Amino acid sequence: MQQVYFDNAATTPMRSEVVEAISEVMRTNYGNASSSHSFGRSAKVLVEKARKTIAGYLNCSAGEIVFTSGGTEADNLILRSAVRDLKVKHIVTSKIEHHAILHTVQALEKEYGIQVSYVNLDANGDVDYLHLETLLDTEEKTLVSLMHINNEIGNITDIKRISDLCKTYEALFHSDAVQSVGHYSLNLEDVKVDFLAASAHKFHGPKGIGFVYVRRDSGLKPSITGGEQERGLRAGTESIHNIVGMETAFKLVCDNLDTEQNYLKELKTYFIEKASVVIPDVSFNGQSGSLNQSTNTILNLRLPNSKVDASMILFQLDLKGIACSRGSACQSGSSQKSHVLSEILNSEDLQKPSLRFSFSIFNTKEEVDYVIGVLKHS
């Protein structure tokens, strides 16, 4: 039986170079980066080198990169401080954001009585930019929180257009870019977001480490208090080995971005074409079937059989050694349907099984053939 991992939107396997870099740091650089002796100074050098490397690829200042435990912490840091410290009274988001955004915004609405507006979406799940502009036309201090790439249907949001709109209306802009950092080139001098969240394990780095971009002089305050690490924005001893692992993964993916994305685009194209031939009436949710309007790493397909539950098909695929998902891994085990698909599909299509396949450079066309063959008989 083959083992096929098509759930890379949930997490990616670490590159061997990353494992080696992490192991080396754990063996030789075990000092606390806040200590003043030579062991601490050596660790501090590694942290600041990683910060400078990441900032260089994003075209921002090293001082604007703050290390966190991952995307969820980064999102919470931004949203909570924006309301608590920057006095944001109005948050604009969408109903298909990751729950790290949605649940945090809902909690802030209850805690602080802020106004929350949800921008309209079209039938494919794309943002209605004209409606967004009407929501920005307010005297209340506003923060827009819209993800760059949707983690379930792969839609690419035009964050350059949104950042320009936010500047016009003097609103703050935060983007959860967990599914795009490491997959797309981002120039933060051109795309003037105020805040951006990323997570290393989505681009072949380790789990438990990520970063947040915080535009200079934003006024953001920490959510985790204690020491003065991370320029006072994130207390706690830095995880040196994970930071170096993230730096290594980010450097590798950025240096090979065009080659790897071309490979992923070819692989996704092959999956779409093969599925369309072998499985009559297969459909693709959102923009995931479009090679121009969705990420190369995510394909969310809908099978024509309305009598078979998606969870049963996932079970059958798992028995055949195939890993994929119904949607976000954070909702795994939940009996509820995808909140993303519930927003864009009609009741009839919601009854049909939908599966998310997500790819990495370690996947092959032979694996696609195997998966399509299993799906045909599911």
Query: Rounded to whole angstroms, how far apart are CA atoms 48 and 52?
Result: 6
CA-CA-CA-CA dihedral for 235, 240, 245, 250, to nearest 10: 50
Q: C-alpha dihedral over 149, 233, 30, 15, to 10 degrees?
A: 10
Q: By C-alpha distance, which of 267, 302, 264, 297 is closest to 124?
A: 302
**H helices then E strands: how many in the chain?**
12, 12
How would DSSP label each residue in 277-311? HHSTT-EE-TTTT-TTTB-TTEEEEE-S-TTS-HH
Helix axes 240-255, 16-28, angle to 10 degrees: 150
Q: How far apart are CA 194 and CA 256, in angstroms?
A: 27
330 noted as active-site residue: yes
Q: Which of 60, 166, 324, 330 is catalytic?
A: 330
Tokens of 218: 């934003």
Amino acid present at 306: S
List active site positions. 330
